Amino acid sequence: MKQKYSPMMMQYLKIKEQNQDSIVMFRLGDFYEMFFDDAIVVSKALDLALTGKNAGAKERVPMCGVPFHSVSGYIQKLIDLGHKVAIVEQLSDPGKKGIVERGVVQIITPGTIMDASLNEKRNNYIGALGVFDFNYTLAYCDISTGEFYVVNFDKQAHLLKNHIDALGLKEIVVNDRSLSFDDVFVSFYENDKFNEGYKKIFDSITDLKEIKICSLLLNYMIETQKRELSHMQAIQEVKTEDYIYMDSYTKKSLELVKNADHESYGTLQWLLDETKCAMGGRLLRQWIERPLVNREKIEKRMDIIELLIDNFIERETMKDIINDIYDLEKLAGRIAFGNVNARDLKWIGSSLKVIPELKHQLLALDHPDTNQLAQQLIDLSHITSLIDEAIVDNPPLTIKEGGLIKQGYSQELDELRYIRDNGKQWLSEFEQKEREKTGIKGLKIGYNRVFGYYIEVTKSYLSMVKDEFEYTRKQSISNAERFVTPELKEMEAKILSANDKMVALEYEIFVQIRDYIKKDVHLIQDVASVVAQIDVYQSLANKASQNGYVRPTFNDHHTMHIENGRHGVIEQVISRQNYVPNDLNIKEDEPILLITGPNMGGKSTYMRQIALCVIMAQIGSFVPCDQADLPIFDQIFTRIGASDDLISGQSTFMVEMLEANNALRYASRDSLIIFDEIGRGTATFDGMAIAQSMIEYIATSIQCITLFSTHYHELTMMDESFHIQNVHASASVEGDKIVFLYKIKPGRSHRSYGINVAQLAKLPDAVIERSKVILQSLENNNIETVISEKVEMPSTIQKESAVEKALERIDPMALSPLDALSTLIELKKLL
């Protein structure tokens, strides 16, 4: 590189050349500075002032900067905008001669954020993808908690998309530059060599493809973070056959963890989440995303939940204990990562201190499952004792400015503190002695960073300063002179030296404590894992107890029986007293339920509540009903609600067909299909034909339990040929007014009540009346007559009433109270 700029700028350019895909944040004193194109990009992105710097060339170099103490917020914004950020720190003492040594200490990417909130109830995963002849291998990790997983699945694009969406991957590492993904940051990296230093975390996986892709991800994280990641947990292989398969459409339509506005309100997670710590919240989300298919594992979860429901006092005590436990998973990660502070250590100490009491409460339940959990809560009192002995109760957030370590922990530190504290006493006594010796009452001892300690004498007393005092003039200011003496300089050296040594020693002791705890990071993680499980169990038990949920039973007969089932989320919003419950009875020889009835009559809610009941049951939760006997489902497919995918240019009907296609192609006899009004996005006869052929295909080829709602009443005639059970959402019409009963009853609905619903929406009377005429003609098959018939529609849909005319003539401000009352009576008569 040709020498054109100053040595510091040449240093920057060399680092930038090695990190061309990153925004380089270059530490200069108390700021991180960015230069050249980086400065232009960042100034626009973060709305910062773009300035210039003289860097040895004729032109000024573009520059912008952010304070080091608030840099994390700026970094987060850049990451959200899809940038990588390389952090360059000063690696040598700025006081030494020559240019300060600098280097990249960390590259922050969308998947490697470590400064995220401790209370986040969702994981921030980074993934690595391997593409092989017949399958995909996806490794994924949350670097903040150390959780590490790997999954293999068939080489099908929809399965890959589903995994990426379900995990919410922020970044994917690939070794093939041709790969790209919508809305996901892609990082190219090639080093997939096995790292012997991390051999232990690979113990549970043997597949060479999995080892290769996990190594790719691990090496990338080590490379970007520029440090060892000793908090990585043992890699867990996720077997897709162990969990219910649900595609992205299904999770979206059932609003499991996100509603239509991408918020948590009104979701299944929102309903069930009574967890008291972030670890429990994250685990509950994982359970909801991946319901089990193993009956034994489901029943084990339910056993513990039932035990907690029956033992209210122990459950409430455990809830209170967990409420005092901080995010141990992320705190353990910070210890290993090296970005933990003294306050974090105090949080770890206070969290671990309550673990013995949590263990005691579990043992008090005296059940094999809870005893097993209790045994995993190992004694970590050596960590809590050390933190209690060493760290002050309210430590500062910084770890390099002292004030961290308790009196009495280190003899050397205590001695330095004695010199510092007695130095202050000595200075006070010295000041008094000098006043008496000189007779100068206004004499005082001061300090600044440039001159150190000094004696200050105002100019009015200068004549009293004599040679025998050995005062050496140090500085003149507007109204005083400052002096030093040999005695004062000697004490200054002791005090300042003690203070510098004390700060350095405190940091050294803190690092020793951190490294001591670091050896047991995996023990802390093990305890955190158990706490998270207990938290989810108490949350589900609490919710079941509050809302009257029951424990479902399971059968092997492809039958479903739900008595007084409810939609858990809706009843929470409108109150249980106002919710109309419904039954479900599906026999093995009639697996398809055809649901008819009016719009707004409750068909979609009914189908959603069945799906949510199944998911709740298979995560191990109790369910909102009086009784439930269910099969174990392997997959759930839904097509509920109409939504155009405008971004990719797909119509409602096309989206509908794509979603339905997944179900028809991949469902098995053990799957659950929920279709809501398939075919309504196209011409009536086309839609009906498609809907009927789908029902026939499900009935003959798949034979799985299916809930199919429709407005095509002709389809209800299929019941005898295809073993279909007809039910309908009931409603009653009183005069022209429709009343929704929200009750699902046996048999077909004989009408759709569409005009009544239109009336409810207050369409103009003329439109309603005309639609009744048209409907009558259509029902009589007089379609051509209806279309050719010329109808005189009124020019104004609603005439002005006598009341409105009278109101126009009234000036309310001119009426006395008595006149106003009289006028109101007249208007009432007119009405």
Give me the pLDDT at residue 127, please: 97
CATH architecture of 273-380+526-546: Orthogonal Bundle (1.10)
Q: What is the 3-state secondary structure (H, E, C) of 235-288?
A: CEEECHHHECEECHHHHHHHCCCCCCCCCCCCCHHHHHCCCCCHHHHHHHHHHH
Question: If 0-12 CB within 10 Å is exposed, 13-18 middle and 19+ buried, where does residue 808 land?
Answer: exposed
- Tokens representing 596? 């008819």
Give me the pLDDT at residue 354, please: 97
Is the per-residue pLDDT at 754 higher than 80?
Answer: no
Of the chain, the percentage scoring pLDDT greater than 90 comes to 65
What distance in Å separates the CA atoms of residue 123 and residue 281, rounded to the nearest whole number? 10
Provide the β-strand partners of residue 476: 481
Give me the pLDDT at residue 750, please: 67
Give me the pLDDT at residue 761, please: 72
Region label for 302, one of left (φ > 0), alpha (ψ between -120 and 50) or beta (otherwise): alpha
| pLDDT one-digit tens code per residue, 584-634 | 999 999 999 999 988 788 889 999 999 999 999 999 999 999 999 999 999
Is the per-residue pLDDT at 796 higher than 60?
Answer: no
CATH architecture of 7-108: 3-Layer(aba) Sandwich (3.40)
What distance in Å separates the CA atoms of residue 13 and residue 3, rounded to the nearest whole number? 11
Q: Which residue has the higher pLDDT, 514 or 680?
A: 514
Out of 3.30.70.2740, 3.30.420.110, 3.90.1300.10, 3.30.2040.10, select the CATH number for domain 126-238: 3.30.420.110
Work out the average pLDDT over 638-667. 70
Q: In Å, how far from its chain's centre is CA 316? A: 26
Out of 3.40.50.2000, 3.20.20.220, 3.90.470.10, 3.40.50.300, select the CATH number for domain 558-752: 3.40.50.300
Question: Poorest-confidence range of 118-122, 351-355, 691-695, 819-823?
Answer: 819-823
Contact 598, 743 (CB under 8 A): no
147-154 and 84-90 beta bridge pairing: unpaired
CB neighbours of residue 478 within 10 Å: 5
Give me the pLDDT at residue 724, please: 92
What distance in Å separates the CA atoms of residue 453 and residue 491, rounded to the nearest whole number? 9
Give me the pLDDT at residue 645, please: 40
SS3 311: coil
Question: Poorest-confidence range of 27-41, 171-185, 315-329, 682-696?
Answer: 682-696
- Tokens representing 220? 């990338």
Q: How far is CA 601 from CA 552, 696, 752, in A?
A: 27, 26, 10
Helix (H) or strand (E) holding 510: helix 486-518
Is the per-residue pLDDT at 177 higher than 70?
Answer: yes
Provide the β-strand partners of residue 89: 103
Using only the alpha carbons of the chain, give its radius of gyration.
37
pLDDT tier at 11, thresholds 50, 70, 90: very high
| pLDDT one-digit tens code per residue, 236-284 | 999 999 999 999 889 999 999 998 888 889 999 999 999 999 999 999 9
pLDDT tier at 787, thresholds 50, 70, 90: very low
Give me the pLDDT at residue 778, please: 67
CB neighbours of residue 303 within 10 Å: 17
160: closest CA among 185, 180, 142, 189? Answer: 180
Q: Do domains 126-238 and 411-513 have the same CATH topology?
A: no
What distance in Å separates the CA atoms of residue 791 and residue 582, rounded to the nearest whole number? 45
Binding residues for ATP: 597-604
392: closest CA among 376, 380, 409? Answer: 409
Q: In Å, how far from its chain's centre is CA 746? A: 43
pLDDT tier at 738, thresholds 50, 70, 90: confident
Contact 698, 639 (CB under 8 A): no
CB neighbours of residue 257 within 10 Å: 22
| pLDDT one-digit tens code per residue, 183-200 | 899 999 999 999 999 999
Work out the average pLDDT over 497-506. 91
Is the per-residue pLDDT at 496 higher than 90?
Answer: no
pLDDT tier at 646, thresholds 50, 70, 90: very low
What distance in Å separates the CA atoms of residue 758 and residue 587, rounded to the nearest whole number? 36
The dihedral built from the CA positions of residue 482, 486, 491 and 495, taken in this order, carries a sign that is positive
What distance in Å separates the CA atoms of residue 336 and residue 325, rounded to the nearest whole number? 19
Helix and strand counts by DSSP (H, E) for the chain: 28, 27
Binding residues: 597-604
639: closest CA among 672, 678, 670, 600? Answer: 678
Work out the average pLDDT over 453-458. 95
pLDDT tier at 655, thresholds 50, 70, 90: confident
pTM of the model: 0.84
DSSP string across 716-729: GGGHHHHTEEEEEE
Region label for 408, one of left (φ > 0), alpha (ψ between -120 and 50) or beta (otherwise): left
Domain boundaries, the chain: 7-108, 126-238, 273-380+526-546, 411-513, 558-752, 763-798, 800-831
Taking all residues of the chain, what is their mean pLDDT, rounded to a whole number? Answer: 89
Q: How far is CA 781 from CA 257, 510, 712, 767, 784, in A?
A: 48, 88, 16, 21, 8
What distance in Å separates the CA atoms of residue 738 and residue 756, rounded to the nearest whole number? 6
Region label for 753, one of left (φ > 0), alpha (ψ between -120 and 50) or beta (otherwise): left
pLDDT tier at 36, thresholds 50, 70, 90: very high
Give me the pLDDT at residue 700, please: 92
Q: How far is CA 74 from CA 42, 65, 68, 394, 608, in A?
A: 9, 10, 10, 28, 42
CATH architecture of 411-513: Orthogonal Bundle (1.10)
754: closest CA among 619, 601, 637? Answer: 601
Within 8 A by CB and 6+ apart from 678, the residues are 639, 656, 660, 687, 690, 691, 694, 708, 710
What distance in Å separates the CA atoms of residue 193 and residue 333, rounded to the nearest whole number? 24
Work out the average pLDDT over 359-365. 97
Give me the pLDDT at residue 819, please: 66
H-helix segments, 156-197:
157-167
Give me the pLDDT at residue 718, please: 86
Which pairs with CB-CB distance under 8 Å and at least 24 residues apart come from 477-484?
480/456, 481/456, 481/457, 482/446, 482/451, 482/454, 482/455, 482/456, 482/457, 483/454, 483/455, 483/456, 483/457, 484/451, 484/452, 484/453, 484/454, 484/455
Give me the pLDDT at residue 804, please: 72
- Tokens representing 701? 């080829």
724-734 and 592-596 beta bridge pairing: parallel
Contact 659, 681 (CB under 8 A): no
DSSP string across 631-645: EPPSEEEEE-S---B
pLDDT tier at 583, thresholds 50, 70, 90: very high
Question: Poorest-confidence range of 139-148, 343-352, 534-543, 637-646?
Answer: 637-646
What distance in Å separates the CA atoms of residue 525 and residue 329, rounded to the nearest whole number? 6
DSSP string across 523-577: HHHHHHHHHHHHHHHHHHHHHHHHHT-B--EEESSS-EEEEEE--HHHHHHH-GG
